[in-house]
Structure 1
Amino acid sequence: MEKRANILIVDDNISLAKTMSLILKRKGYEATTAPDGPVAIERVKERPFDLIFMDIKMPLMDGVQIYRKIKKIRPEIIVIMMTAYAVENLVAEALKEGAYGIIYKPLDIEKMISLIEKSRKKKQGALILVVDDDPGTCMTLKNIFLKKGYRVGIAHDGEKAITMAREKTHDIIFIDLKLPTINGLEVYLKIKEIDPKLVAIMMTGYRKEMTDLVEEALNNNAYACIYKPLDIEKLLMLIEEIW
């Protein structure tokens, strides 16, 4: 059973913080409140929170100042800022410091829950499936992705990739278009039937030869096609866009 997220709500509006806490508890999360920065910092020292909702405009210390201090104690904590004010300078500072996102008051509960789930998923690292009959390409991508904190599966042919897609839900799949037995487009379409939400990025070293397959893949909602030799920086940027 998946561990329930442990959430800290930091807001000097005690009534709002209590309401948020009740809602989160009803949704199955653990929730604790803190009315200001010093109390929040003590709470973080005492307990390993997964996520913090932090009001950006508070007395004593603003949300960004509190976030900086908390990062020194537990740098892995995900922080989502909250505000009812037009404080673009503080919002920009918070995002620069690494805040996961901003939500505006009055709070949209569905958006709040969605942010919690997305942030937890991101923290786990995307599960990426690389499908390529070239072992060198597979190992290069695997090593790069692992260093970036992603989880990786490898398949050297279409049949194996389809089997892996049936056995486990992946977040992103990189598929070489020129594979033995079944081409990459056919593999993508079969896997799409198994998992319609899976994001696919096609790969090929044959730009002219594969034009029709690339076009058909994109017409069937493949996210993008990248060309070999692979531009690793561009490839990682694509993952960041998706994830």
Structure 2
Amino acid sequence: MKILIVDDDRRMVKTIYDILKVKGYDPIIAYSGEEALTKVESEKPDCVLMDIKMPGINGVETLKTIKELSPDIPVLLMSAYVTEAQIGEAKQHGAYTVLNKPIDIQIILSFFALLRKEESILIVDDDPNFCRTLKDILQSRGYKVVTESDPDKVLGHMEQEYMLTVLLDLNLGNKDGLDVLRDIRAKYPSKPVVLVTGMKEDMTDVIDKGIKIGAYTYFYKPFAVESLIDSIKGISIKKLQSLLGEPF
């Protein structure tokens, strides 16, 4: 994963570069807004971490041009003096947020890890064909996927791995899917759970109960995979915002 670091403070750039390199990322360096724009076009980074106050083109102006060149690149701005006006302007032009310097490197690493899809998606369903097909599709999109048919083992998976979300079938043989949802909610109150079911006509009340318990959303089988992936992307964005201090 390529991360473009943009700052005229060369010592800070080197520090962040070295940390990212050790963590297995592919950091790229630019010391000005002008150089950053060149690197965006030539290197095609996956994310940009950029200072606001720089000689020449400042970070916000550079952000505007980056978003014209590559609208989907996530951009984080940073500044030693962050004001609400700066944050508002940055977000208006497509930045995730503006971070205070000195930046919290653990927050940055967590942010990048989520972008790199290091957290798993847990599919809980007793239909092996459904699990296999959906797992293959999600893995082809770069997600890590774990499947489980036994509802009593769900919490065990969640204790062992970082889960981005859980896709939970409501019909799991001997155990009610809503009971599994309640178990998840009791231990992981904010973990996004997406409900799925193949019985649309008979499950309206159950779906309503699931949403009240705290399910993120729901899908009726068969569903459009792109719609599911859009929901997963939405979960990722909300978690990224949460890492940066916004409510999830």
Q: Above 0.5 in TM-score?
A: yes
Q: Is the 8 A contact 1:54 1:80 kept in 2?
A: no
Tell whether the 8 Å contact from 2:120 to 2:161 is kept in structure 1 after alignment. Answer: no
Q: How many angstroms apart in 2 are the aligned matches of 1:69 and 1:159?
A: 50
Task: Rate the CA distance shift 1:10–1:80 in 2: closer, same or farther, 3 A.
Answer: closer
* Secondary structure in 1 matching 2:214: coil
* Structure of larger gyration radius: 1
Q: From the superposition, tell whether residues 144 and 95 of structure 1 become closer, same or farther in structure 2 (CA, over 3 Å).
A: same
**Root-mean-square deviation over aligned CA pairs:** 3.3
Q: Distance in 1 between matches of 2:104 and 2:200?
A: 43
Instruction: Measure the CA separation in 2 of the matches of 1:195 and 1:53.
Output: 39
1:100: which partner in 2? Answer: 74
Matches within 5 A, 1:36-75: 49-51=25-27, 57-58=33-34, 61=35, 63-71=36-44
TM-score, normalisation: structure 2:
0.69
Matched residue type, 2:68: E
Q: Any stretches of 5+ residues in structure 2 without a counterpart? A: 82-98, 237-248
- Calculate the TM-score normalised by the size of structure 1: 0.71
Change (3 A) 1:111 1:207: farther
Give the stretch that moved more between structures: 162-171 or 137-146: 162-171
Deviation digits for residues 135-161 of structure 1, max 9, x if unmatched?
111111110011111111111131232
Count of matched residue positions in the alignment of Structure 1 and Structure 2: 209
Residue 233 (structure 2) aligned to one of 234, 240, 243: 240
Q: How far, CA to CA, are the matches of 2:67 and 2:25 in structure 1?
A: 24
Q: Does 1:126 align with 2:125?
A: no
Tell me the distance in 2 between the aligned counterparts of 1:92 and 1:56. 17
Deviations for 1:98-153, whole angstroms, at most 9, x for unmatched residues?
53223153442487643432112321433011011111111111100111111111
- How far did residue 94 of structure 1 move? 5.2
1:194 paired to 2:187: yes
Name 1:83's counterpart in structure 2: 52
Change in Cα spacing, 1:175 to 1:55, as seen in structure 2 (3 Å) is: farther
Mapped to 2, the partners of 1:159 and 1:56 lie a distance apart of: 54
Q: Distance in 2 between matches of 1:192 and 1:216?
A: 13
1:30 is paired with a residue of what secondary structure? helix
Distance 1:188 1:213, change over 3 A: same
Are 2:202 and 1:214 aligned? Answer: no
Q: Deviation per CA, 1:73-120, whole angstroms, max 9, x where unpaired?
A: xx6x64334435542641413543x53223153442487643432112
Amino acid at match of 2:49: I
Partner of 2:147: 154
2:172 alignment partner, SS class: coil
Distance 1:116 1:67 in 2: 21
Q: Give the CA deviation at 1:197.
A: 3.7
